[in-house]
Amino acid sequence: MDAKNWDALTNNEKLDRLTSVLTRAGSDAKFRERCLQSAESAKKAVSEVGDIEFAPDFRVQFLTPEERLKTLVLAIPDLIPPENGTAEVRNAEDYTTCTYRPWRT
C-alpha cells in the first residue's frame, strides 16, 4: 500500500487500512503497547501500519476493553434553536460515536 492522506481515502480504503492496524494490534504485543502508550504514539503506529498520513491536529486513541466500559464519547449535535419553544429531538444512537458508521456502504 502507498501512504495516502486520511481525507483522500475512500470509506472502503479507510476500513481496509484500519483492519490491517487492528489485526496487528490483536497479534503483536509490541505494536499493541505502542497503540496504548499515548495518543501520539497510537497515531504514529496507525500511520505506519495503515500507510495513512494524518493532519497534525488529527487524534487517534485506543481503549482497552476495561476503558470502553468506563468511557462515553458523544458527538455534539448542531445547534438548532428551538422553534416555538420546542427543541428538535436528538436521538442518542445518532450521537454515540463509533467513527466508522458513516463510512459503511
Q: For residue range 47-92, list pLDDT tens digits in order.
A: 999 999 999 999 999 999 888 888 888 888 999 999 888 999 998 8
The CA distances from residue 40 to 14, 23, 59, 83, 84, in Å, are 19, 20, 8, 43, 46
Tell whether the model's pLDDT for residue 7 goes beyond 70.
yes
- Whether the pTM exceeds 0.85: the reply is no
Tell whether the model's pLDDT for residue 104 goes beyond 80.
no
Show the domain range for 63: 4-103
Which positions ≥6 away from 36 have C-beta within 8 Å? 42, 62, 64
In total, how many domains does the chain have?
A: 1
Listed residue (18, 47, 45) closest to 31, CA to CA: 45
- Residue 69: the pLDDT is 83
Per-residue burial over 89-101, b = 16 or more CB atoms within 10 Å of its CB, e = otherwise: eeeeeeeeeeeee
Cα gap 94→18, rounded to integer Å? 22
Output the average pLDDT for the chain: 89
CA neighbours closer than 13 Å in the CB half-sphere of residue 86? 3
